[in-house]
Copies of this chain bind each other. A is one copy, B any other.
Amino acid sequence: MPVSEFDIIEQVFKANALTGENVICGIGDDAAIIEVPVGQQLLVSTDTLVSGVHFFSDADPYDIGYKSLAVNLSDMAAMAASPAWMTLALTLPDNDLGWLRKFADGLFALANQYKVALIGGNIAHGPLSITITIMGTVPSGQALKRSAAKPGDDIYVTGQLGMAAYALAILEDKTSRTTPPQACLERLNRPAPRVRTGIAVRSCASAGIDISDGLAADLAHMLKASAVGARIELAAIPAYAMLKKLDEDAMWKYALCSGDDYELCFTVPTRHRPLLEQAMKNTDCGFTRIGQISSEPGIRWLAADGSDRQISGSGYRHF
């Protein structure tokens, strides 16, 4: 017996969906009804993963479900928002219930971890792709924008850079290795969105962005939006340890100019350093000061001896 869109929604998604705080009406009507608490602003972001473009077509459906939400949570983290609700638009070539159950397991594993309620969505027939619209809240006026970095602010990044890109390059057979390190594969397939960090630095950071297309490209977006520049100390960049064994060009290609890090880059006025160190005690990732905002536009990449270095490549391009 064929499985209809309605069966899939009932059996796979509705059954697992959290009821969720402030959800007046969830899956099952023409639209969901939610209450945004008074004093909070609503944050909204949308991201799509396409089979064969953002993941291998034979990827584990659990990982696809997990990553589809993770990349969206990373946008909430970048704005210092508390994620709360999501819609899921799923385009499927067929109605493979086994695949869907695994996809849902991955999706809900992360959704439950961050208490994100699935409030609605759509299932369409077509080439496999997943679009999630994530919604969250911040106390009014406290969202972390790209556009508020000021000269003199310290620049920080979380975690280590280049792990996912290194795993991808190995899988695509572009290196001499045959198997990616497990930790890198984990970062590629199940990135850890820095939601707790985003919320923790809300009170002290001036601007923030998530690193999805490579630090060089994403930092440039933040600088442009803030109409400032940056001086970055290359020796301070927390490149993944194994990358340091590669030649320097390859190391910076992975650590600065490749996609899928899903770490945060944020700026903090120097006077707030003690506040930042206190705030970061409650998060689950390391953080590193990599440089400072300057008034001169563009990024100056500085070697240990103070000389300028060119970093080529401008991050992941979508076309």
Interface, chain A (partner B; CB < 8 A): 2-5, 24-25, 28-36, 38, 41-54, 74-76, 78-79, 81, 85, 87-89, 91, 94-95, 119-127, 129, 131, 133-136, 138, 140, 143, 145-147, 208-210, 225, 317-319
Contacts and interface: CB of A to CB of B under 8 A. Distances in A.
B75 A31 contact: yes
Q: Ordered nearest first, which 10 A-B pairs have the shortest CB separation? A: A50-B126, A31-B45, A30-B78, A5-B318, A133-B133, A46-B87, A30-B75, A127-B127, A31-B43, A89-B131
B124 A91 contact: no
10 contacts: A31-B43, A33-B43, A33-B79, A33-B138, A38-B38, A44-B119, A44-B135, A50-B127, A125-B318, A129-B129
A317 B78 CA distance: 39
Given A33-B42, A49-B124, A131-B131, 18 more contacts: A2-B319, A3-B319, A5-B319, A24-B143, A29-B145, A29-B225, A30-B74, A30-B146, A30-B208, A30-B209, A31-B136, A32-B45, A33-B138, A44-B119, A48-B91, A50-B124, A126-B129, A127-B129
A210 B29 CA distance: 10
Contacts of A138: 33
Contacts of A319: 2-5, 94-95, 125
A46 B126 CA distance: 16
Contact of A33 (B53, B89, B143): B143
A43 B26 CA distance: 10
B29 A44 contact: no
A61 to B, nearest CB: 17
* Interface of chain A, main secondary structure: strand
Contacts of A38: 38
Nearest to A123: B318
A118 to B, nearest CB: 11
A129 B133 contact: no
A29 B79 contact: yes
Contact of A50 (B91, B135, B146): B91
Nearest to A146: B29
A167 to B, nearest CB: 21
A1 to B, nearest CB: 11
A18 to B, nearest CB: 15
